[in-house]
Structure 1
Amino acid sequence: MSNWPKHSISCNTATRTCLPRYTNLLTLTLTLISPTGYPSNYPIDFSRQMYSDQREHPLPDVPFLTDLTPQQKALKVKETGPWNQLTKEEKLALYRISFCQSYKEMKAGSGSEWKTIVGGVLYFLAVTGLYLWWQRVYVYGPVPHTLSPEWIEVQTQRMIDMRTNPVTGMSSKWDYANNQWKK
């Protein structure tokens, strides 16, 4: 935290907030503390190498932990000796100093991918439903009177009276002697 930029504001790391700082009379700048302990507007030096876990590049250029505790430093010194003298726990601790996740952990999903997929599908179904509702209310006109049940009944009776398509159509299914549909 000693390499923070020098500001004339007081920060409270417990609440991750800082008091406002006036840069000039017209603007007010607020600096928030991120969970990493640095301000949210802290400049990141992208010219330096950074650690990242990627399946495509499983061996990052820099170790995961750079600020080591005294126990970790002693373990790093012990690492320079023969490895058959290290216990399994020490080897695992050395691995965790260099890497955050194993390759198997990187390949394993978080188990919540299905939630993202279901959420995305439901989101697009909702958007589609709203779009169809909007079209029905604002774009389409009223339903024509020719689609009413009364009109369809009159039109059907007219087609039967005209004996349209008497071989395979509607008139072939009408019994003209009894004035009812054939059974």
Structure 2
Amino acid sequence: MAGRTLLMSLVRRNLVNGVRSYSNDAPPINVKYGNREVVGFGLNGEASYLDLEDFPYPAIRYKEITPDIQALKEKEKGDWKKLSTNEKKELYRASFCQTFAEIDAPTGEWKSITGCAAFGIGIALWIFILLKTYVYPPLPHTFSREWQLATYDRLVKLDANPIWGDWKRKEK
């Protein structure tokens, strides 16, 4: 993190590697990473591919440019009515990995999360039962129902902490 911060401050001052640069922006459009074309700014200005609904246009294309895709790109420059449905799909898949319907499709991940949570709760309950049975001492006799009722009766007879309806008037 600190190294990246230092590098970015040097880039802003145009002093990277002792060479004065005149641009500190993101890479220009149509620069290639490997054989993948950069087509935009990206989510954070970095050339990365992410399938996100919130940000539907990734910075780089999904697939590398192969001769087949290059031929389709040349054909794409003409009339789109001449392209078949499969060719249009292949062009789409060259730029994007998933469609919006595929991004929204349920994955079933909730089942494993629910199972792991239930397993964890079960383990915690077993640990609690074992601790309650073998580790904790028994409760004192003052926790019994008879003792609590006797204490309550004693407090009533002693008139301890009476609550009266009107604070000015005390009736007995």
Q: Give the TM-score of the pair, scaled to structure 2.
A: 0.50
Query: Where does residue 30 of structure 1 map in the other structure?
Result: none
Aligned mates of 2:132, 2:53 — CA distance in 1: 46
Please show how residues 4-19 of structure 1 align to structure 2 within 5 Å.
none
- Whole-angstrom CA distance in 2 between matches of 1:134 and 1:47: 54
Which residue of structure 1 aligns with residue 52 of structure 2? 54
For 1:73 and 1:124, the matched residues in 2 are separated by 55
- 8 Å CA contact 2:61–2:94 kept in 1: the answer is yes
Q: Is the 8 A contact 2:53 2:100 kept in 1?
A: yes
Q: Structure 2 unaligned segments of length 5 or more: list them.
A: 1-43, 147-172
Q: How big is the shift at 1:143?
A: 6.1
Is the contact between residue 46 and residue 59 of structure 2 (CA under 8 Å) also seen in structure 1? Answer: no
Question: Aligned equivalents of 1:101 and 1:107: distance in 2?
Answer: 10
1:108-159, CA deviations, whole angstroms, 9 ceiling, x for partnerless residues?
A: 1112322222221221232243134224422x21466899xxxxxxx9xxxx
1:87 to 84, 91, 103: 84
Relative contact order (C-alpha < 8 Å, sep 6+): which is higher?
A: 2
Q: Quote the sequence identity (%).
A: 31
Instruction: Letter of the 2:93 partner, please give it.
Output: R
Distance change >3 Å, CA 128–CA 58, structure 1 → 2:
farther
Q: Which residue of the partner structure matches residue 141 of structure 1?
A: 137
Deviations 1:149-173 (A, max 9, x none): xxxxxx9xxxxxxxxxxxxxxxxxx
For residue 100 of structure 1, report the CA deviation from its aligned partner: 0.2
Give the number of aligned pairs: 105
Residue pairs, 1:100-115, within 5 angstroms: 100-115=97-112
Moved over 4 A (4+): 143-147
TM-score normalised by L of structure 1: 0.48
Q: Which has the higher strand share?
A: 1
Listed as ranges, the gaps of 5+ residues in structure 1 are 1-45, 148-154, 156-183
1 or 2, which has the higher helix percentage? 2
RMSD: 3.2
